[in-house]
Amino acid sequence: MAETQPGAPRRRTLSVEDYVAGVRAGDRTILSRAITLIESRNPEHHKLAQALLQQLLPHTGGAHRVGITGVPGVGKSTFIEALGKNLTADGHKVAVLAVDPSSSRSGGSILGDKTRMGELSVDPGAYIRPSPSAGTLGGVTRVTRESMLVCEAAGFDVVLIETVGAGQNETEVAQMVDFFLVLMLPGAGDELQGIKKGVLELADMIAVNKADGENEIKAKLAARDYASALHIMKPASPTWHPPCITISAIKNLGLDNLWGHIQSHRQKLDKTGELAEKRARQQVRWMWTQVEDRLLSALRHHPDVVDALPKLEQTVANGEITAGFAADEILEAFGLNPLDED
- Positions that interact with ligand GDP (CB under 6 A): 70, 72-78, 209-210, 212, 248-250
Query: What are the strands of the beta sheet with 64-69, ordered from one edge?
Result: 126-128, 94-99, 158-163, 64-69, 179-184, 205-208, 244-246
Closer CB to ligand GDP, 169 or 209, in the complex: 209
* Minimum distance, C-beta of residue 58 to ligand GDP, in the bound complex (Å): 35
Residue 46 CB: number of other CB atoms within 10 A?
A: 15
* Minimum distance, C-beta of residue 77 to ligand GDP, in the bound complex (Å): 4
Q: Is 20:56 a contact under the CB 8 Å cutoff?
A: yes
**Residue 80 to residue 65: CA distance in whole angstroms:** 14
**Residue 42 to residue 299: CA distance in whole angstroms:** 21
**Residue 341 to residue 179: CA distance in whole angstroms:** 37
Would you call 133 helix, strand, or coil by DSSP? coil
Which DSSP string corresponds to 293-336? Answer: HHHHHHHHH-HHHHHHHHHHHHHHHTTSS-HHHHHHHHHHHTT-
* Minimum distance, C-beta of residue 244 to ligand GDP, in the bound complex (Å): 16
Would you call 228 helix, strand, or coil by DSSP? helix
Closer CB to ligand GDP, 159 or 183, in the complex: 183
* Minimum distance, C-beta of residue 227 to ligand GDP, in the bound complex (Å): 20
Closer CB to ligand GDP, 177 or 247, in the complex: 247
Closer CB to ligand GDP, 139 or 186, in the complex: 186
* Minimum distance, C-beta of residue 267 to ligand GDP, in the bound complex (Å): 27
Closer CB to ligand GDP, 40 or 215, in the complex: 215
User: Hey, which bits of the chain come out as E strands?
Assistant: 2-3, 14-15, 64-69, 94-99, 126-128, 158-163, 179-184, 205-208, 244-246
The residue whose Cβ lies closest to ligand GDP is: 75
Phi, psi of 264 (to 5 degrees): -65, -40
Closer CB to ligand GDP, 93 or 210, in the complex: 210
Closer CB to ligand GDP, 38 or 249, in the complex: 249
**Residue 97 to residue 323: CA distance in whole angstroms:** 42
* Minimum distance, C-beta of residue 182 to ligand GDP, in the bound complex (Å): 12
* Minimum distance, C-beta of residue 208 to ligand GDP, in the bound complex (Å): 10
